[in-house]
Copies of this chain bind each other. A is one copy, B any other.
Amino acid sequence: MIEENIFQERPIPTCGKGLGPSDDGATLGEVPALGWRLLDEDLSLPVAVLDGARIEHNLRWMQDFIDRYGVKLAPHGKTTMSPALFQRQLAAGAWGITLATAPQVQAAYRHGVRRVLMANQLVGRGNMAIVSRLLRDTGFTFYCVVDSAANVDQLGEFFAAQGQRLNVLIELGVAGGRTGVRDLSQEEAVLQALHRWPQSLALRGIEVYEGVLKEATGIRAFLRRAVGRLKALARVEAFAPGPVLLSGAGSAWFDVVAEEFCGIDLDRPLEVVLRPGCYLSHDVGIYRAAETRIHAENPVARAMQTSLLPALQVWAYVQSLPEPGLAIVGLGKRDAAFDAGLPQPASHFRPGHDTLPRPAGAWQVSTMMDQHAFLRIDPADDLAVGDMIAFDISHPCLTFDKWRQLAVLDDDYRVVELVETFF
Copies in the complex: 2
Q: Which of the 9-residue segments A49-57, A267-275, A289-297, A316-324 touches chain B?
A: A316-324
A106 touches B15 (CB 8 A): yes
Is A339 interfacial (CB-CB < 8 Å)?
Answer: yes
Report chain B residues within 8 Å CB of A401. 334, 402
Restricting to A163-187, which residues have a CB under 8 Å from any CB of B?
173, 175-182, 186
Interface SS of chain A: loop
Is A130 interfacial (CB-CB < 8 Å)?
Answer: yes
B15 touches A422 (CB 8 A): yes
Chain A residues with a Cβ closer than 8 Å to the other chain, count: 77
A323 touches B150 (CB 8 A): no
B15 touches A320 (CB 8 A): no
B404 touches A125 (CB 8 A): no
Report chain B residues within 8 Å CB of A127. 44-45, 317
Report chain B residues within 8 Å CB of A176. 323
A385 touches B154 (CB 8 A): yes
A150 touches B15 (CB 8 A): no
Report chain B residues within 8 Å CB of A319. 120-121, 123, 151, 179
Nearest Cβ on chain B to A52's Cβ, whole angstroms: 20
Q: Which residues of A contact B (CB under 8 A)?
A: 14-21, 41-45, 78, 100-104, 106-107, 110, 120-121, 123-127, 129-130, 133, 147-148, 150-151, 154, 173, 175-182, 186, 317-323, 328, 330, 333-334, 338-339, 351, 369-372, 374, 384-386, 388, 397-398, 401-402, 404, 422-423
